[in-house]
Chains A and B, each alone.
Chain A
Amino acid sequence: MDKFDRQLRLWGKHGQLELSKAHICIIGNTLLASEILKNLVLPGATKFHLIKETSYVKSDCFLDVEDLKSINEHAEFNEETWNAHLMGNQEYWRYFDLIILTTRDVSVIESIRCLPMPPMLACNWREYHGYACFVSQEPHFVTECHRQHKSPDLRIDKPPQPLLNFYESIKPSQLSQEQLNDLPFAVIIYHALKSLKENCTKIDRSSLRIEIRRLHEKTLPGPECLNFIEAERYLYLGLQDSEIIPDNLLKCFSLASSECVVPFNSMFTDMISSLKDYLKHPSSEHQLPLSGLIPDMESSSEMYNAIQEAYLRCASKNLNTFADIVTSHNASVPLSQIKNFCSNVQNVRGVVPASHIPTEQDCRTVKQITPAAAAILRKLVKSKHELETIRPSFVESRDELRYYPTCSLLAGIVAQEAVKILTHQFVPLENTLIYDGKAGQVYRVKL
């Protein structure tokens, strides 16, 4: 067994690889930074660049860099002190995959505020309150959002030619009672729809149900047929329009017009423009590439294998057509990415991050939507003066100890979002989270 087994089940070996090679820069020698670092070293990130403020005060972290090295001996930690001249230049930042801003030093924040930076997570906390904000100059795209419950992609309403051939190869009227009991529900729904169309009956939920039952009756009397029960349960799949492009994908279409620097995002936008061409291609029949994945359906092993094969064959045909188009746009997109895109195309997502590190100005916008959240955000982004009075090391003041979990919670959220952003798996925060531990509330706002 692999040490990472429990998380490979979430983001797979390819996600793990992205995480292990990502170059992460953490700004601020804070308690929050130490907790975030721990939460990133544990799942296997290895390349860290740590920037300490010049107003550096040693805070009493639970784990220091030596402890972290003992968690993962391959992890590298480059430590550097803030240098306004060097780091006030955008060139300095461009090689990082992700920046995590934890510092409370306003001069540091001000010097990078206006620079075009790689994707960044800005965060801060105080007492029971905290915020985390995903900042980026470009949209963020996700191919694998890992929805736990997906609607099956079967195209029963308008099967593309290869699927149509399969469905037409089965003639329910010529089947014995036993063979009818073996029909997967998709076949039942297809033929029910077909006979409705032939009789020019209006297709809706109830007419389709009646038609499925009519077919079901042919198997009676006999034992209960699970496949017909499934057909009724899934009949909504027959009422879908397979030419409709889902909203999440339309959002990606509109976001894909922006110029992207992050390699994954730019590859994704190339695939989106290829997809537009694909939909105009005659063999697509105005439908998205088929994923080929089908749900389990009550039927015999042979029958199930046959329908699965039909879907996989059609999916692979779609994939080839799509891959040709992508390659003609950009030959450097790896086939594994094209394949991944095709099998997830119904569920791809685009997220709009905040364009800048939150300011007091933003609090006014937030106030109109959630006043409680605005008050917290204001406290956390507020003027220079107040922030400097917060002691980075609060261990001497005993009362402050009670707030440690807020720091820990925020570090968990920031690390989780960091992994999502770096692997482009799971949908990250869009785009700001405000935590109120006192009231036990979490607010999400778009800056």
Chain B
Amino acid sequence: MADLADVSILVLGAGGLGCEILKNLAMQGIPDIHVVDMDTIELTNLNRQFLFRESDIGQSKALVAARFINEKNIMGLGGRPVVVTAHFQDLTLLDRKFIERFTLIVSGLDSIEARRFMNMQLVRITFESRFEKCIPFIDGGSEGLKGHCKTIIPGFSACYECSLDTLPAKIESYPLCTVSNNPRLPEHVIEFLMSVQWAQQHPDRDFDFDSKEDLQWLMDEAHARARQFNIDTSKLTPQFVLGVIKNIVPSVASTNAIIAAQCCTEVSKLLYNEYDIGEAPNFLVYNGDDGCFAYSFVHERVSTCLVCRESIQ
């Protein structure tokens, strides 16, 4: 790896994992850190995203996070101060030239598509430079008390696409005949309202998840329909309904701390030449639901991977 004082790292996402990753990298003394996030701060972020306060609600996560760390005046490697640069934008619009300037990329995203985009860019960079340039990509993910960390050396070890099958399938769906004729659970009621009744009553527009009126419509109709089918309405609270329609996943500070730290340990090992490509486990899963379970292993490259297969030929 290059001279440590010249290291620059791009962090994808300034959410629960992002805040932890940024803090760790700053404490590791990485002088040049960039962060990209298109989200703004919400109240429900504050149980874990410790770089934000209530007064920051509505502002850009990337900008507020960068400001918080910069104000700490942390001295980094090579006597350079740690500086975080914020990019309040969609990361899939970042251009190749920009991405190429980083030593490493660490992601703490919730979007699978955004990760696939970055993975593809990085694999291309390795191939097009004929393996002269390779930017490691470390990916963290968390949900409830569970999480994972993947270390990708594009073109050398399994890429994000190679392990795509390890992700769970999309949200559970219910058969249409159940939700329309035989609803039995509150979820069936909501599903019917969202997929059938809304379109019947509002053919001109889509449901707006941020509109108070639309949510009120949903609450009222859900209670009415549940009563019609004698379904217990006590479960139909706004929290529950929002959880179902937005597919909200639980999130806590501790899991983010664990996963982000594992990602940053991988950063250290790569920077200080303590990482053995091909031998080192590149995939760690963590589960704190029952005891404290963590397991790491080597995820092999997939020879048919649509993104990184060309170098195997």
Contact = CB atoms under 8 A, between A and B. Distances in A.
Interface of A: 1-10, 35, 38-39, 42-44, 62-63, 70-71, 128, 132, 145-148, 226, 296-302, 304-305, 395, 398, 401-406, 408-409, 411-413, 415-417, 419-420, 426-430, 433, 437-442, 444
A408 B260 contact: yes
Given A301-B231, A305-B231, A405-B264, 13 more contacts: A1-B239, A3-B44, A43-B252, A62-B72, A63-B50, A299-B184, A305-B229, A404-B27, A405-B260, A405-B261, A406-B261, A416-B255, A444-B293
A146 B145 CA distance: 11
Contacts of B281: 439-441
Interface stretch (B113-121, B198-206, B265-273): B265-273
Most buried by A among B23, B249, B261, B284: B261
Contacts of A38: 50, 253
Contacts of B274: 438
Contacts, number: 196
B291 A406 contact: no
Contacts of A409: 257-258, 261-262, 265
A1 B46 CA distance: 12
Nearest to B69: A62
Contacts of B257: 35, 39, 408-409, 411-412, 415
For the complex of A and B, the 8 pairs showing the least CB-CB separation, nearest first, are A412-B257, A409-B261, A412-B258, A416-B254, A442-B294, A405-B264, A408-B261, A402-B268
A416 B145 contact: yes
Contacts of B259: 412
A361 B294 CA distance: 26
Contacts of B269: 438
A217 to B, nearest CB: 22
B33 interface: no
Q: State the main secondary structure of chain B at its contact with A.
A: mixed
Contacts of A62: 23, 26-27, 72
Interface of B: 20, 23-24, 26-29, 43-44, 46-48, 50, 53, 72, 75, 77, 144-145, 175, 178, 181-185, 229-231, 239, 242-243, 248-265, 267-269, 271-272, 274, 280-281, 284, 288-296
B107 to A, nearest CB: 16
Interface centre among A8, A408, A415 (most CB of B within 10 A): A408
Nearest to A407: B261
Contacts of B252: 6-7, 10, 43, 416, 419
Contacts of B260: 405, 408
A445 B44 CA distance: 37
A276 to B, nearest CB: 26
A43 B289 contact: no
